[in-house]
Chain A
């Protein structure tokens, strides 16, 4: 049974009551909203049945709906309409169980109040006018006091039903009768419509998700000598508020953008696209796209759109070179630097999240990268993942995973961390979007040589080191300290295979790694130069005096790194 025949039957029954009540005709206006199947195709028509006239009219915007929340998504708007229709339906159900004994004006008042409450709108009007008044209104004649006509907001915001004045009790009966039948008809239509809507929304989400994945993966992870990069993002819902992108920055560097828009789902996803495209445009069009300038301009542009919808986003803009990383960081908490052989530490934000303040600090944080250094940029979906009993994965657990001196490939770090997060969740649904970037500095392009494990062969050391260390004072410090380490390895370390040495650095800084296979020996522990002259024990003291930092990692080999700051120039 379609809505139209239902309505016809309702009107027929109502007409029966009206005939009994001595009325001449019923004027019913219904509006063919698209969402009422069966009514959709109905043409304006007149049915004469026991003196009843049914008239289908176009939209009569009697009830206007003030939008409750401005949303930016068309789909979200569609969902709101369904909510609205559901509230109308509830109101109709209310009407049908209205207490007896109300006067028509009381009933109208009650309907108006309930409708207003249910729909959270202010403009709903019910009027009572005589049938005669309709003719006069249509012919342009002035309304009189006697005009009594009922206009009931029935189907949607855009429909009304107009019924001529009746005796109070008949009118209430009629309203109840019509409402009860309409409620059933609408409920059926709505249930069908809602399932269609749901399917459509899911389909749109699915498309949005595919679009987002396509956007996120449109630029491959760049390949840069001395860097090993990997990135992944897993939205909690079908589409997410996390984003990342690698942007070009010349042959020996890359720009990376990572962030997390507040909230989840489609609204957040739309803002991720806006944020990424704004930042991409800055990178493309700024004459010198430094992280702080990109951040400043993007934060300026994005302030208003984010403020308008009461949202914000964190964002890290980092320029990554094999030996250093420069970051402008708008409120993104999870940037972690794990220097080789040392504990991880957070790279703190330089600015508030985008959308909170229009101006940025212009500051950056520079992190020096050495081979084996690892930088993680994660979204809080990683640390905020809960276990089935609700305990957080947490920052300490994340730091603990990378604090073991291992130097594996970036993709292996990502896999290891995600596996640990999944194990923690233990089947619990993902709480939030999870994004993780691993940036690992490698030894590619670094000067490396080997020396056989005998004392005479160490005399080749100065010749190897000289080209890598232009500054003479630093060079002699490095030569002696590295020489002492090698002598130790040969005379005390049972080193029987070649000693591998790597040297790198830049202006004002030199680093040397000495790696050999031998008994475990940690030269990094602080030593005291003996007060009294002794025959042994000067080697380590010399190493510590000449270098600024000693870091030791024992895995398969003894690996010691000596760090030298240029001391010839003033501090």
Chain B
């Protein structure tokens, strides 16, 4: 999994397989791009695979942002990701940009 961190924009670009193996690295990167009260954007346009651990990582980050009156937005999820978001009804929990 390739990560592109842009802390100045509170953005994180994910590329490749967002699975249980990649999750710890993504989790750390999210803490680096996030700031209290900020709206974090996670770009999923290059994620070919996401598993439940990947989802849990995003949910954890969302909860953290919401706790500080901020937010977390998912940008351009691929079909593979979108299907799982819908299946787990997390499409209703996240703000999703096209």
Using CB atoms and an 8 Å cutoff, list the residues of chain A in contact with chain B.
Answer: 455-456, 458-459, 476, 479-480, 483-484, 487, 490-491, 529, 531-536, 538-539, 541-542, 545-546
Contacts and interface: CB of A to CB of B under 8 A. Distances in A.
Contacts of A542: 51-52, 84, 87-88
B82 to A, nearest CB: 13
Interface residues of B, number: 21
Contact of B80 (A476, A533, A541): A476
A491 B60 CA distance: 18
Given A535-B56, A541-B88, A542-B87, A483 B21 contact: no
A433 to B, nearest CB: 55
6 contacts: A480-B51, A484-B51, A490-B20, A532-B93, A538-B55, A546-B87
B83 to A, nearest CB: 9
Given A480-B51, A531-B89, A535-B59, A456 B21 contact: yes
B6 interface: no
Given A533-B62, A535-B59, 15 more contacts: A455-B21, A459-B21, A480-B49, A480-B51, A487-B51, A491-B53, A531-B89, A533-B59, A533-B93, A535-B60, A536-B56, A539-B53, A542-B52, A542-B88, A545-B87
B17 interface: yes
Contacts of A490: 20
Interface in B48-98: 49, 51-53, 55-56, 59-60, 62-63, 80, 84, 87-90, 93
A533 B52 contact: no
Contacts of A480: 49, 51, 84
B20 to A, nearest CB: 5
Contacts of B87: 529, 541-542, 545-546
Nearest to B57: A535
Contacts of A541: 52, 87-88
The 7 closest A-B pairs by CB, nearest first: A538-B52, A455-B21, A539-B52, A533-B93, A487-B20, A455-B20, A456-B21
A487 B59 contact: no
Contacts of B84: 480, 542
Nearest to A531: B89
B19 interface: yes
A33 B80 CA distance: 96
A476 B84 CA distance: 11
Interface of B is mostly: helix
B21 A538 contact: no
Most central of A458, A459, A476, A533 by chain B CB within 10 Å: A533
A487 B53 contact: yes
A538 B56 CA distance: 8
Contacts of A546: 87
Nearest to B51: A483
B52 A484 contact: yes
A487 B51 CA distance: 9
A459 to B, nearest CB: 7
A534 B17 contact: no
A535 B61 CA distance: 9
Nearest to B60: A535
A261 to B, nearest CB: 56
B60 A487 contact: no
A538 B20 contact: no
Nearest to A540: B52
**Most chain B CB atoms below 10 A, which of A455, A476, A484:** A455
A529 B88 contact: yes
A104 B44 CA distance: 121
Nearest to A544: B87
Contacts of B51: 480, 483-484, 487, 539, 542
